[in-house]
Amino acid sequence: MKKTRKKILIMAALTLIMMLIMPGSTFAAGEGTRVIDEANLLSDSEKSSLSSRLDSISSKYGVDVVVYTDTSLYDMTPEALADYMCEQYSDDCVVFMVNMEAHDWWISTRGFAITAFTDAGRKYITDDITPYLTDKEYAKCFDEFANYADDYLDKAKQGKPYDSGNLPKKPFKAVQDGIIAVLAGLGAGGIRAGSLKAETKTVRKATKASTYLTGNLMIQGNNEVFTGSRMVPRTQSSSGGGGSSTHVSSSGVTHGGSGGKF
Protein backbone atom coordinates (compact mmCIF):
# COMPACT_ATOMS: atom_id res chain seq x y z
CA MET A 1 0.00 0.00 0.00
CA LYS A 2 2.81 2.38 0.91
CA LYS A 3 4.64 1.62 -2.33
CA THR A 4 1.50 2.27 -4.37
CA ARG A 5 0.88 5.57 -2.60
CA LYS A 6 4.50 6.60 -3.10
CA LYS A 7 4.33 5.81 -6.79
CA ILE A 8 1.15 7.86 -7.17
CA LEU A 9 2.80 10.82 -5.44
CA ILE A 10 5.86 10.54 -7.66
CA MET A 11 3.73 10.36 -10.80
CA ALA A 12 1.73 13.39 -9.67
CA ALA A 13 4.90 15.35 -8.95
CA LEU A 14 6.39 14.42 -12.31
CA THR A 15 3.19 15.45 -14.06
CA LEU A 16 3.30 18.82 -12.31
CA ILE A 17 6.93 19.32 -13.34
CA MET A 18 6.14 18.51 -16.95
CA MET A 19 3.14 20.83 -16.95
CA LEU A 20 5.39 23.66 -15.78
CA ILE A 21 7.94 22.85 -18.45
CA MET A 22 5.37 22.44 -21.20
CA PRO A 23 2.35 24.77 -20.89
CA GLY A 24 -1.11 23.37 -21.38
CA SER A 25 -2.96 20.34 -20.11
CA THR A 26 -1.56 18.22 -22.96
CA PHE A 27 1.77 18.42 -24.71
CA ALA A 28 0.70 17.12 -28.11
CA ALA A 29 2.50 18.65 -31.09
CA GLY A 30 3.64 21.73 -29.19
CA GLU A 31 6.57 23.49 -30.88
CA GLY A 32 9.62 24.02 -28.70
CA THR A 33 8.63 21.31 -26.25
CA ARG A 34 10.14 18.27 -27.91
CA VAL A 35 13.53 18.58 -26.20
CA ILE A 36 13.31 18.16 -22.42
CA ASP A 37 16.90 18.30 -21.21
CA GLU A 38 16.56 17.94 -17.44
CA ALA A 39 20.06 16.42 -17.27
CA ASN A 40 21.60 19.50 -18.93
CA LEU A 41 23.48 17.45 -21.50
CA LEU A 42 23.13 20.11 -24.19
CA SER A 43 24.24 23.70 -24.50
CA ASP A 44 21.59 26.34 -25.20
CA SER A 45 22.54 26.50 -28.88
CA GLU A 46 22.53 22.70 -29.22
CA LYS A 47 19.15 22.48 -27.55
CA SER A 48 17.70 25.21 -29.77
CA SER A 49 19.02 23.60 -32.95
CA LEU A 50 17.75 20.14 -31.98
CA SER A 51 14.37 21.50 -30.92
CA SER A 52 13.88 23.21 -34.28
CA ARG A 53 14.85 20.02 -36.10
CA LEU A 54 12.47 17.82 -34.11
CA ASP A 55 9.64 20.35 -34.53
CA SER A 56 10.16 20.25 -38.29
CA ILE A 57 10.21 16.44 -38.46
CA SER A 58 7.18 16.15 -36.17
CA SER A 59 5.14 18.58 -38.26
CA LYS A 60 6.23 16.90 -41.50
CA TYR A 61 5.00 13.45 -40.54
CA GLY A 62 2.35 14.15 -37.89
CA VAL A 63 4.33 12.16 -35.31
CA ASP A 64 5.82 13.73 -32.19
CA VAL A 65 9.56 13.03 -32.12
CA VAL A 66 10.93 13.76 -28.64
CA VAL A 67 14.30 13.72 -26.87
CA TYR A 68 14.09 13.54 -23.08
CA THR A 69 16.99 13.51 -20.62
CA ASP A 70 16.88 13.36 -16.83
CA THR A 71 18.99 12.58 -13.78
CA SER A 72 16.36 10.48 -11.98
CA LEU A 73 14.04 7.59 -12.78
CA TYR A 74 11.62 8.69 -10.02
CA ASP A 75 11.51 5.12 -8.69
CA MET A 76 10.25 3.90 -12.05
CA THR A 77 11.77 1.57 -14.62
CA PRO A 78 13.32 3.17 -17.73
CA GLU A 79 10.52 1.63 -19.79
CA ALA A 80 7.78 3.02 -17.54
CA LEU A 81 9.27 6.53 -17.46
CA ALA A 82 9.80 6.66 -21.24
CA ASP A 83 6.27 5.36 -21.82
CA TYR A 84 4.90 7.96 -19.43
CA MET A 85 6.65 10.74 -21.33
CA CYS A 86 5.42 9.35 -24.63
CA GLU A 87 1.85 9.51 -23.35
CA GLN A 88 2.19 13.24 -22.68
CA TYR A 89 2.24 13.89 -26.41
CA SER A 90 0.00 12.83 -29.28
CA ASP A 91 -1.23 9.30 -29.97
CA ASP A 92 1.57 9.01 -32.54
CA CYS A 93 4.86 9.55 -30.76
CA VAL A 94 8.43 8.36 -30.32
CA VAL A 95 10.53 9.32 -27.30
CA PHE A 96 14.26 8.79 -27.04
CA MET A 97 15.09 8.94 -23.34
CA VAL A 98 18.57 9.19 -21.84
CA ASN A 99 18.62 8.89 -18.06
CA MET A 100 21.82 9.59 -16.14
CA GLU A 101 20.79 7.98 -12.84
CA ALA A 102 22.07 4.56 -13.87
CA HIS A 103 23.02 5.43 -17.45
CA ASP A 104 19.93 4.03 -19.11
CA TRP A 105 18.50 4.78 -22.52
CA TRP A 106 15.10 3.83 -23.83
CA ILE A 107 13.05 4.34 -26.98
CA SER A 108 9.28 4.32 -26.46
CA THR A 109 6.91 4.34 -29.42
CA ARG A 110 3.18 4.80 -29.71
CA GLY A 111 0.66 4.69 -32.56
CA PHE A 112 2.17 5.04 -36.03
CA ALA A 113 5.65 5.21 -34.51
CA ILE A 114 5.28 1.54 -33.52
CA THR A 115 5.01 0.74 -37.23
CA ALA A 116 7.85 3.06 -38.23
CA PHE A 117 10.32 1.93 -35.56
CA THR A 118 10.30 -1.86 -35.68
CA ASP A 119 12.33 -4.03 -33.31
CA ALA A 120 15.06 -4.55 -35.93
CA GLY A 121 14.90 -0.90 -36.93
CA ARG A 122 15.36 0.34 -33.38
CA LYS A 123 18.28 -2.02 -32.84
CA TYR A 124 19.96 -0.69 -35.96
CA ILE A 125 19.59 2.88 -34.70
CA THR A 126 20.80 2.25 -31.18
CA ASP A 127 23.73 0.08 -32.29
CA ASP A 128 24.90 3.11 -34.23
CA ILE A 129 24.19 5.99 -31.84
CA THR A 130 24.68 4.65 -28.30
CA PRO A 131 28.51 4.71 -28.64
CA TYR A 132 28.11 8.50 -28.75
CA LEU A 133 26.53 8.35 -25.31
CA THR A 134 29.48 6.39 -23.96
CA ASP A 135 31.79 9.02 -25.44
CA LYS A 136 29.62 11.81 -23.96
CA GLU A 137 28.92 13.18 -27.42
CA TYR A 138 25.29 13.85 -26.56
CA ALA A 139 24.53 16.46 -29.21
CA LYS A 140 25.88 14.17 -31.92
CA CYS A 141 23.82 11.27 -30.57
CA PHE A 142 20.58 13.26 -30.62
CA ASP A 143 21.31 14.74 -34.04
CA GLU A 144 21.80 11.24 -35.43
CA PHE A 145 18.57 10.11 -33.79
CA ALA A 146 16.77 12.99 -35.53
CA ASN A 147 18.28 11.94 -38.87
CA TYR A 148 17.10 8.37 -38.36
CA ALA A 149 13.63 9.51 -37.26
CA ASP A 150 13.23 11.54 -40.45
CA ASP A 151 14.34 8.62 -42.61
CA TYR A 152 12.34 5.95 -40.75
CA LEU A 153 9.09 7.95 -40.74
CA ASP A 154 9.50 8.72 -44.44
CA LYS A 155 9.89 5.02 -45.26
CA ALA A 156 6.94 4.06 -43.08
CA LYS A 157 4.72 6.67 -44.74
CA GLN A 158 5.62 5.03 -48.06
CA GLY A 159 4.43 1.71 -46.64
CA LYS A 160 7.95 0.29 -46.52
CA PRO A 161 9.14 0.61 -42.91
CA TYR A 162 12.66 -0.50 -42.14
CA ASP A 163 12.69 -4.02 -40.72
CA SER A 164 14.63 -7.28 -40.76
CA GLY A 165 16.12 -7.73 -44.22
CA ASN A 166 15.23 -4.14 -45.14
CA LEU A 167 17.51 -1.93 -43.06
CA PRO A 168 19.16 1.29 -44.23
CA LYS A 169 22.60 1.25 -45.76
CA LYS A 170 25.12 3.91 -44.89
CA PRO A 171 26.29 6.06 -47.82
CA PHE A 172 29.86 5.34 -46.73
CA LYS A 173 29.36 1.63 -47.36
CA ALA A 174 29.28 2.11 -51.12
CA VAL A 175 32.38 4.31 -50.97
CA GLN A 176 34.13 1.78 -48.74
CA ASP A 177 33.36 -1.07 -51.14
CA GLY A 178 34.69 1.01 -54.02
CA ILE A 179 37.93 1.81 -52.20
CA ILE A 180 38.47 -1.82 -51.28
CA ALA A 181 37.86 -2.87 -54.89
CA VAL A 182 40.38 -0.31 -56.15
CA LEU A 183 42.96 -1.36 -53.55
CA ALA A 184 42.37 -4.99 -54.46
CA GLY A 185 42.98 -4.23 -58.12
CA LEU A 186 46.07 -2.13 -57.46
CA GLY A 187 47.50 -4.55 -54.92
CA ALA A 188 46.97 -7.64 -57.04
CA GLY A 189 48.17 -5.91 -60.19
CA GLY A 190 51.31 -4.58 -58.50
CA ILE A 191 52.21 -7.91 -56.98
CA ARG A 192 51.64 -9.70 -60.26
CA ALA A 193 53.75 -7.21 -62.18
CA GLY A 194 56.58 -7.47 -59.64
CA SER A 195 56.49 -11.23 -59.83
CA LEU A 196 56.70 -11.22 -63.62
CA LYS A 197 59.59 -8.78 -63.61
CA ALA A 198 61.52 -10.84 -61.08
CA GLU A 199 60.99 -14.02 -63.02
CA THR A 200 61.81 -12.29 -66.35
CA LYS A 201 59.36 -14.59 -68.10
CA THR A 202 57.27 -13.87 -71.14
CA VAL A 203 53.98 -12.25 -70.23
CA ARG A 204 51.07 -14.60 -70.76
CA LYS A 205 47.33 -13.99 -70.56
CA ALA A 206 45.87 -15.05 -67.22
CA THR A 207 42.93 -17.39 -67.60
CA LYS A 208 41.89 -17.69 -63.93
CA ALA A 209 40.66 -15.02 -61.50
CA SER A 210 42.73 -16.65 -58.74
CA THR A 211 45.83 -15.27 -60.47
CA TYR A 212 44.95 -11.82 -59.18
CA LEU A 213 44.26 -12.76 -55.55
CA THR A 214 47.89 -13.08 -54.45
CA GLY A 215 47.64 -9.96 -52.30
CA ASN A 216 44.59 -11.04 -50.34
CA LEU A 217 46.22 -10.94 -46.91
CA MET A 218 47.52 -7.43 -47.40
CA ILE A 219 44.13 -6.24 -48.60
CA GLN A 220 42.47 -7.87 -45.61
CA GLY A 221 44.72 -5.78 -43.41
CA ASN A 222 43.48 -2.60 -45.06
CA ASN A 223 39.91 -3.75 -44.62
CA GLU A 224 40.45 -4.01 -40.85
CA VAL A 225 41.16 -0.30 -40.76
CA PHE A 226 37.84 0.52 -42.37
CA THR A 227 35.77 -1.74 -40.11
CA GLY A 228 36.79 0.42 -37.17
CA SER A 229 34.58 3.22 -38.49
CA ARG A 230 31.16 3.92 -37.02
CA MET A 231 29.83 4.18 -40.55
CA VAL A 232 29.98 0.41 -41.10
CA PRO A 233 26.43 -1.03 -40.84
CA ARG A 234 25.79 -3.28 -37.89
CA THR A 235 24.62 -6.89 -38.04
CA GLN A 236 20.96 -7.08 -38.89
CA SER A 237 18.48 -8.46 -36.42
CA SER A 238 17.27 -11.96 -37.14
CA SER A 239 14.38 -12.03 -34.73
CA GLY A 240 11.22 -13.73 -35.94
CA GLY A 241 9.35 -12.32 -38.89
CA GLY A 242 10.06 -8.69 -38.08
CA GLY A 243 7.63 -6.00 -36.98
CA SER A 244 7.36 -4.51 -33.50
CA SER A 245 6.77 -6.32 -30.24
CA THR A 246 4.49 -4.34 -27.94
CA HIS A 247 3.50 -4.05 -24.30
CA VAL A 248 0.81 -2.23 -22.37
CA SER A 249 1.80 0.52 -19.95
CA SER A 250 0.31 1.02 -16.49
CA SER A 251 -2.05 3.54 -18.11
CA GLY A 252 -3.40 0.89 -20.45
CA VAL A 253 -1.67 2.32 -23.54
CA THR A 254 0.05 0.08 -26.09
CA HIS A 255 3.72 0.87 -26.73
CA GLY A 256 6.63 -0.50 -28.63
CA GLY A 257 10.07 -0.01 -27.23
CA SER A 258 13.50 -1.18 -26.21
CA GLY A 259 16.41 0.06 -24.17
CA GLY A 260 19.73 -0.61 -22.56
CA LYS A 261 22.65 0.97 -20.75
CA PHE A 262 25.66 2.98 -21.80
- In degrees to the nearest 10, what's the CA dihedral of 239, 240, 241, 246? -80
Are 199 and 157 contacting, i.e. CB atoms less than 8 angstroms apart?
no
Q: What is the pLDDT of residue 210?
A: 38
Question: Tens digits of per-residue pLDDT, 147-169?
Answer: 999 999 999 999 999 999 999 98
**Which helix (H) or strand (E) element contains residue 99?**
strand 93-99
Q: Could you say which architecture CATH assigns to the domain 2-166+239-261?
A: Roll (3.10)
Question: Tens digits of per-residue pLDDT, 65-74?
Answer: 999 999 999 9
- Three-class SS of residue 82? helix
Question: Tens digits of per-residue pLDDT, 182-214?
Answer: 555 555 454 454 554 554 444 444 444 333 333
Residue 236 has pLDDT above 70, yes or no: no
